[in-house]
Amino acid sequence: MFVGREQHLRDLKRLMHKKCASLVACCGRRRIGKSTLIRPSLGRTSSAAKGLVETTSGDP
């Protein structure tokens, strides 16, 4: 699925299983798969948490 993103996927999975709240910012150039990387990590998470994923262009 992802080439060279194994460490990023492990980090996201670890953060999703923490007992306390966390804020994760995924930044980078456009069209490199940030949202595609995050969505599978949400997996069976509640729909409320999935609603927190927001995509912005960064342009004013």
Residue 33 to residues 1, 19, 20, 37, Cα–Cα distance (Å): 11, 27, 27, 6
Among candidate residues 29, 28, 8, 21, the one with its CA nearest the CA of residue 52: 21
User: What type of residue is 5?
Assistant: R
Task: Establish how many alpha carbons lie within 13 A of residue 43's alpha carbon, considering only the half-sphere containing its beta carbon.
Answer: 9
From the list 41, 46, 44, the residue with the least C-alpha distance to 26 is 41
Model pTM greater than 0.75? no
pLDDT by position in tens, the chain (length 60): 667 888 888 888 888 888 888 788 888 888 888 888 887 777 766 555 555 555 555 555
